[in-house]
């Protein structure tokens, strides 16, 4: 079985991933060839199902990338299936309280740390070809990420960060800005800057790892300066859109120049 080393890699160096919203083996292969460390399979904002997610995780594994699944909700079945299919961890959106985070941890870990249901007939256990310490290894290596993107979670950030078993606090800047009623376009210097920095500081106080999404070089530099190890750079859809926009802009420019020459 392939060992889950994602959490160890996070402790050693910054890991760069991206949200994957398109069920395409080719896109995942391209990300692997490009040098991404991990992907976040987005089941919250897409129609990707668990069968598709399992195939996507398998392709990522073949290209040396870890897979985190952003589950559609915090239900027991969603968390169980995401981990059973062999993802390196789960990313849970829209949490509101420390109790909800504790519930996520409980669902994601086997006894005695939690109440995750056990079977060996799935991909995470090698379909039965698992080591003798399988449950212990899963509890230790599995990465648990929760979004802080609601007012409730933000106002209770120290309580959330104190939850044992939680690994990464992901700053959902866009949703958080909407909930706080501020402009979230610039979370480095704008209205959202103070809340974002307070979340990062809370993570540092508690020993939790912060995570954040970036879309440009300035945001990436900011994340490195803040020593954020879990960085999600945009998404496959955004990359595709940017490339298409650049092509159309180039096309229009050339056509305009050609018209002027005629």
Catalytic positions, written as ranges: 45
Spatial CB neighbours of 66, under 8 Å, sequence gap ≥ 6: 4, 5, 6, 9, 15, 17, 37, 38, 39, 60, 88
Spatial CB neighbours of 78, under 8 Å, sequence gap ≥ 6: 43, 71, 72
- Cα-flanking dihedrals φ and ψ of residue 43, to 5°? -100, 0
CB neighbours (10 Å) of residue 253? 10
Burial category of 47 from C-beta neighbours within 10 Å (exposed 0-12, middle 13-18, buried 19 and up)? exposed
Rg (the chain; Cα; Å):
20
Beta bridge partners of 145: 91, 168
Residue with tokens 């005629």: 262
Burial pattern 116-155, b for ≥16 Cβ within 10 A else e, equals: beeeeebbbbeeeebeeebbebbbeebbbbbbbbbeebbe
Two tokens, residue 151: 């007012």
């Amino acid at each position: 079985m392939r060992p889950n080393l994602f959490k160890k890699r996070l402790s050693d160096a910054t890991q760069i991933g991206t949200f994957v919203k398109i069920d395409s083996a080719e896109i995942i292969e391209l990300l692997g060839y490009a040098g991404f460390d991990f992907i976040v399979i987005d089941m919250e904002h897409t129609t990707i199902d668990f069968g598709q997610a399992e195939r996507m995780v398998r392709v990522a594994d073949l290209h040396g990338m870890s897979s985190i699944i952003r589950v559609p909700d915090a239900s027991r079945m969603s968390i169980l299936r995401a981990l059973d299919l062999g993802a390196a961890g789960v990313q849970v959106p829209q949490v509101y309280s420390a109790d909800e985070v504790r519930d996520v941890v409980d669902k994601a870990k086997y006894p005695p740390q939690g109440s995750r249901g056990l079977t060996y007939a799935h991909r995470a256990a090698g379909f039965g070809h698992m080591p003798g310490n399988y449950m212990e290894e899963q509890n230790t290596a599995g990465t648990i990420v929760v979004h802080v993107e609601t007012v409730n979670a933000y106002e209770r950030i120290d309580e959330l960060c104190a939850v044992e078993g939680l690994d990464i606090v992901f700053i959902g800047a866009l949703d958080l800005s909407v909930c706080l009623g501020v402009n979230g376009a610039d979370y480095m210097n704008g209205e959202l800057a103070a809340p974002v920095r307070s979340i990062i500081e809370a993570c540092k106080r508690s020993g939790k790892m912060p995570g954040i999404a970036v879309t440009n070089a300035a945001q990436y530099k900011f994340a490195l300066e803040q020593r954020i190890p879990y960085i999600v750079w945009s998404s496959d859809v955004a990359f595709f859109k940017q490339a298409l926009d650049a092509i159309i802009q180039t096309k229009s420019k050339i056509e305009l120049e050609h018209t002027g020459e005629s």
